[in-house]
Structures are given as structure tokens and as C-alpha cells.
Amino acid sequence: MAEMSEENGSATMGSEAPVGPDPASFSIPPVAEDEDGELPADFERLWKAAHDNPQDFTSWTDLLQYCEQESHITASRRALVAFLARYPLCYGYWKKFADLERRAGYNNKAEEVCVQGLQAIPLSVDLWIHYINLLLGTLDMNLPESPKRIRSVFEDAVAAAGLDFHSDRLWDLYVEWEKEQGNMRNAAAVLDRVLKVPTQLYNTHYDKEQVLVRRDKVYQDNEGEVRNRWHYEDAIKRPYFHVKPLDRHQLRAWHSYLDWEIAQLKGSEVMTQPQERLEDAAVAHDDHRVRILYERCLIACALVFVSVYRRACEIHLIYKPNIHMQWATFEERHGDLTGARRVLETLEQNLPGLAVVRLRRAALERRAGQLDRSEALLLEAVAESKEKPTLHAFYSIKLARLLLKLGRNPSRARRVLHEALEISPDNDKLHLNLLELEVSGDPWASAEAVQECVTRALAAPLAPHTKILFSQRGLHVLSVYEGHQKLMTELGGTKRGAENGDEDAEKLIKSEDGSAVATHVPPTMPHVPITTPPPPVMGADMSAQAGYGGYSSWYQQPQYGSYGYQNTWNYNQGYYPPS
């Protein structure tokens, strides 16, 4: 549509005012629709096409153009509400929406539409001017409160968009309106303010104030600021929002502009370091200018910055999990656990079945000390994934580790792995994790359980080389524990002999006070050769070699330690397991 190629007046906030309103949400509340007969013939077809593929911008523009041609207010409302909820930066459609309501005689609704549009894109000079003209055409200026309201809106407009390089029309409208009201003092004050703002038509403002010689120095300084920025502004060919990404040259132009502004800010800070509070205001002004330039850049890059994470996740990058998880981490670091939970829950609703999101939710509850919630999330994931054996095994392993490591409940962890093996008896990772669980237990009680694990694995439909590994592991455990038991038996027999007084006579030595002291030397334990290092304990951190996103390596590592087993406890891994 034509509006997508217009400049959106992506402007800056005023030098003496904070950044514009920070909307909590940019969704459009449904407007009360009046019955306007049946919907046009092709509306449902175009509506369905747009909702079946909401990422296709052309489908939306076709729907909007059709509704406009049919002049059907109900259809146009529905289409514009749905479209602007997804593309709130298209300022031209906010103007069309407001004009639609005004032509229908709903001035209050037209004003509400403008306000919502300005909440979504407060840097749009065009939208501010459209809103002001709407108020000028609908308010009764004979009422004493009407001029006050118009002046208040003008102040909001120049605070939000007055620092934009192309904001001359807004300033001119403000000055001319004050003149029409007969407030020449106010008009001069507005001109004084705009003379300090580097804009495209800066000289026209000076022409209006050239009678005041004392402003010549201000004008010269501002002219230098304009000259410094002119080639940067000239290099930016698309300062407005568009669904197409910027090319490399345009991105480089924005980078150069930002680097220059930051360099100017740093130089200004050095020069004004020893100055008084008055000069400090200029430094804050420069810092504000840098932030505003970032705002403009992010609009052109379709990443509007008022609440960066909120806009990125709720408008532009709804289906990109990484930015949502960064947002959740940000909220958690700042103590907002409820906000972090909400972000991850919303992400899981948008991308159901993504394993890393469920693991992040469980980890969040674990760090918050809510082990019951963490366990419940993993239990739910295990129950929901029974139709997908690989994913079911993956979640079962994570749940078993939680129960063993933090719940200190090896029996429940063992039961989880047993139930998973009933569904996936051919999953070697389940067998390996169960084996390591048994090996890490009490050596006197685990020998039989270890052999049971080995027997189960040998009877399972596993690959031959995997069965060989299990067999070797079983033999190793037998040799180690049988040798250990033999040594303990020998040591126990020696101790019993000492208790019965069967020591040799020469081992009894009389002490100086006449008491007998048994000084037998304990038997030296024979060296038991260990061809492989001791088994890793289940409590050890085995995730040090892999990051959170390395779930694929969790399945693809050729060796697990020195035993030739795959890595079993990489807790911080986890996208979709390979099918």
C-alpha cells in the first residue's frame, strides 16, 4: 500500500521531557461494531487467507484494500483491528482507521484510535499532526478547556517527536496555532525552543525570528549541528517501518550515525566534567539525543524500543524462542519470577512441544526453590509425550535426575526410568542412566541391582556394540565388588580373632605400667588392578562439556567418559531430540 512507503515521522522526544508513553500493550481493543448489513462477498475468503498465513503482508493489504473499496464499516473495522494488532507501526493505517470512524460520525472512537496509534508509535510526526487536526476539527474552541487541551496535546507531541530531523511541520503547526490564539509570547517561546533543535528546515524558523539579534549565536550553533548531521541523514533512505529488512548499506549508515552521536556525547561529557548543574543539563540533552537516534534506528529495523523485550516478543518476534528466553532470564535476574513464568508460559503456548522451553520452566522453578512445581512440570511433560518415545525418554531422564539429585529419592527416580523402559525398551540412554543410578548407590546393595540392569539391557533390542558395553560394565562391577567383599571378609576375620585373644605372644608388649597392649599390624590390602577409572557418581556434574543448546551432542557423543558410554546427564541441553 502507499502508506508503507511514506515516512512515518520516526522522531525523537523533546529535550526537556522524558521518552513518550510506555504502553503496556499494543493490542487493539475491539470496537463496538454497528450492524452494517451482511459482510461483503469476498470478505470471508480474504479474511481466512490473512489468518491462515498471518506472516504474509500481501494477504493483509489485499483484505484492507477490498474493505476500503466496498466502503463497509464493519468489515473495515474488523480488518483494521486485526491488522494493526500485528503491524502497529504502519502509521498510515492508524490514520485510515481514525478517518473511517470520523466519517461514520464516531468522533470519540476516532480519537481513541489515534491515541492507541500514538501509544504504539509515539515517534510518528504524521500521526501526531493527524491527531491534532482531528481535535481542531471536532472540539468546540469556544469552551475554555478546549485551548488548554490542544496546547497539552501539542506539548505531548513535541516531547515525543519534536527532536526528529523532519519534525518542522509539527513545530510550525504549534507556532501557527499559538498565533491564531493571539498568544504571541507563547509563539515566540515555541520558536525559541525549535531554534535549538537541528531540523531539516532549521533556517525557516530563524527567518521568523531574525528580528531578534540575540538569537543569532543560537542559530549559528544550531546550523553547525545541522551541517554535522546532514550527510548522515542524507545517507538514510528509509527511516520508516517496512516489513522488508534493511540492506547492508542502510544498516552501515545507521551504525555510522550512531557511532558519531555516541562520540559526540563522550566528548561533551569530558568537556563538561567540571561545570555546574546548568551545563549538566546539556549533557543529559545529548544523552537523550543518542537514545532517540536509537529509537529511530530500531523503528527502521522493525524493533521499536520503548520496552525492548515486550515489543520484540509480543509484536515482531513472536515465534523466536531465543529472545523470549532472554526476556525471561532478564525478568528473573531482576526478581520478577511471575513475569518470567508468564513469558515462558506464553512462549510454550505459541510453540508447543519445544523441549527447551519446558526445561527452562522447570529450571526456573528449581532455582526459585519450588521443587514441587519443577517436578510437576516434568511429570506433565512425561505424561504428554508418551506418544513420542524419544521425547518421552528424554523427559524421563530429566525427571529422574531431578528426583535423585534434589529430591534425594532414588527409588522414585528408579521407578521413572523403569516406566520409561516399558515404553522404550530399545532406548540405550534409558538403560545407561538406570545403570549409572545403580552404580552410584550403596556398593553392598547395588551389586545385584547392577547385574539386573545388565541382564535387562542384554535382553533388550539394543545394538550389538551397546550390549558389549553393558556386558563389560557388568563384569567390571562384579570383579571390583567381589574383590572388595573378599578383602572385607579377611579383615573382619582378623578382627574377630583379636577379640577372642588369639594373638601371638610376641605381639603382646608390656607397657611401663604393666598393662598389655595389643600392637598387631593390620594386614596389607592387596592391590586390585583397575583397568578403567571408577564409575562417575550420579551426583557429579556431567554437563560441563556441553552448553544448554547442545542437546544434539547429548545423543551423538561416541564415548561416555572412559567407559565408552554416551553422556547421560547433560541437564542444560535440550531442543527437540532427534526422531
Distance CA 461, CA 144 (A): 88
What pLDDT is stored for residue 492 in this prediction? 65
Q: Would the pLDDT of 515 be above 60?
A: no
Which residues does residue 518 pair with via DSSP β-bridges, in sequence order? 508
Element (H, E) at 518: strand 516-518
Q: Would the pLDDT of 512 be above 70?
A: no
What pLDDT is stored for residue 365 in this prediction? 94
- pLDDT tens for 363-410 read 999 999 999 999 999 999 999 999 999 999 999 999 999 999 898 898
What pLDDT is stored for residue 198 in this prediction? 92
What pLDDT is stored for residue 179 in this prediction? 84
- pLDDT tens for 267-308 read 766 555 544 444 444 434 567 888 888 888 877 775 443 357
Provide DSSP, 211-230. T-GGGHHHHHHHHHHHHHHH
Confidence band of 30 (pLDDT split at 50, 70, 90)? very low
Distance CA 126, CA 304 (A): 17
What pLDDT is stored for residue 142 in this prediction? 87
Q: Amino acid letter at 50?
A: A
Name the nearest CA neighbour of 435 among 467, 391, 389, 464: 467
Ordered by start, the domain boundaries in the chain are 2-26+88-236
What pLDDT is stored for residue 439 in this prediction? 80
Please provide the average confidence, as pLDDT, over all residues in the chain. Answer: 75
Section 122-140 average pLDDT: 94
What pLDDT is stored for residue 494 in this prediction? 54
Helix-strand-coil split of the chain, %, nearest 5: 65, 0, 35
Top mean-pLDDT range of 126-140, 290-304, 502-516, 534-548: 126-140
Top mean-pLDDT range of 57-61, 247-251, 524-528: 57-61
How deeply is 393 buried, as exposed, middle or buried, from its count of CB atoms within 10 A (0-12, 13-18, 19+)?
buried
- pLDDT tens for 414-439 read 999 999 999 999 888 998 898 888 88
What pLDDT is stored for residue 438 in this prediction? 83
- pLDDT tens for 426-476 read 888 998 898 888 887 766 666 778 878 888 888 888 888 888 888 888 787
What pLDDT is stored for residue 529 in this prediction? 38
Confidence band of 27 (pLDDT split at 50, 70, 90)? very low
What percentage of the chain carries pLDDT values higher than 90?
A: 32
Among 18-27, 85-94, 216-225, 417-426, the range scoring the smallest mean pLDDT is 18-27
What pLDDT is stored for residue 223 in this prediction? 86
511 contacts: CB under 8 Å, gap ≥ 6:
517
Distance CA 457, CA 421 (A): 10
Top mean-pLDDT range of 166-170, 288-292, 293-297, 333-337: 166-170
Section 169-186 average pLDDT: 88
Is residue 479 helix, strand or coil?
helix
508 contacts: CB under 8 Å, gap ≥ 6:
516, 517, 518
- pLDDT tens for 98-119 read 999 999 999 999 999 999 999 9
558 contacts: CB under 8 Å, gap ≥ 6:
566
How deeply is 513 buried, as exposed, middle or buried, from its count of CB atoms within 10 A (0-12, 13-18, 19+)?
exposed
What pLDDT is stored for residue 112 in this prediction? 95
What pLDDT is stored for residue 147 in this prediction? 93
Q: Would the pLDDT of 550 be above 50?
A: no
Show the DSSP H helices in 71-195 as ranges. 73-86, 91-103, 107-120, 125-138, 145-161, 168-180, 184-194
What pLDDT is stored for residue 482 in this prediction? 65
Question: Are the CB atoms for 526 and 518 separated by under 8 Å?
Answer: no
What percentage of the chain carries pLDDT values higher than 70?
A: 69
Q: What's the predicted TM-score (pTM) here?
A: 0.47
How deeply is 154 buried, as exposed, middle or buried, from its count of CB atoms within 10 A (0-12, 13-18, 19+)?
buried
What pLDDT is stored for residue 80 in this prediction? 94
452 contacts: CB under 8 Å, gap ≥ 6:
438
Question: Are the CB atoms for 391 and 378 separated by under 8 Å?
Answer: no
Distance CA 376, CA 380 (A): 6
Q: What is the dotted CATH code of the domain comprising 2-26+88-236?
A: 1.25.40.10
Helices 428-439 and 389-405 cross at an angle (nearest 10°) of 10
Section 545-568 average pLDDT: 38
What pLDDT is stored for residue 95 in this prediction? 93
Q: Would the pLDDT of 3 be above 80?
A: no
- pLDDT tens for 222-267 read 888 899 899 899 998 888 887 777 788 888 898 899 999 898 887 7
What pLDDT is stored for residue 220 in this prediction? 77
